[in-house]
Homo-oligomer: A and B are copies of this chain.
Amino acid sequence: MASDDFPVPDMSDVALVDVLRAVGDPIRLSIVRVLADGRPHPKCSEEWGFGVHKSTMTHHFRTLRKAGLTQTTVTGRTHTVELRRAELDARFPGLIDAITSG
């Protein structure tokens, strides 16, 4: 399973309403707020202390990626996820700030 198996939409194709729907879930919003530090995070990180099943996390990470919020990099058997910060800031100015502040 390579990084190519996690395609990302063109940011110009990303609709605001889809971004909002993606972050309109407690777990996904928490993920985005952690990712807002700008660094890549492993999917298995202990930071995600939600009490949900592995496959549920897979579902949430996929939802965020397909909504244009994140991108996944595969290195060996670990996956790291990262916020598409610069692109998001260019497309939706102030949105990520507003969502992740506080």
Contact = CB atoms under 8 A, between A and B. Distances in A.
A23 B16 CA distance: 10
A99 B94 CA distance: 9
A25 B16 contact: no
Chain A binding site: helix, strand, loop or mixed by DSSP?
Answer: helix
Interface residues of A, number: 20
A35 interface: no
A15 to B, nearest CB: 9
Nearest to A22: B24
A11 B98 CA distance: 16
Nearest to A26: B17
A93 B101 contact: yes
B29 A20 contact: yes
A97 interface: yes
Nearest to A67: B24
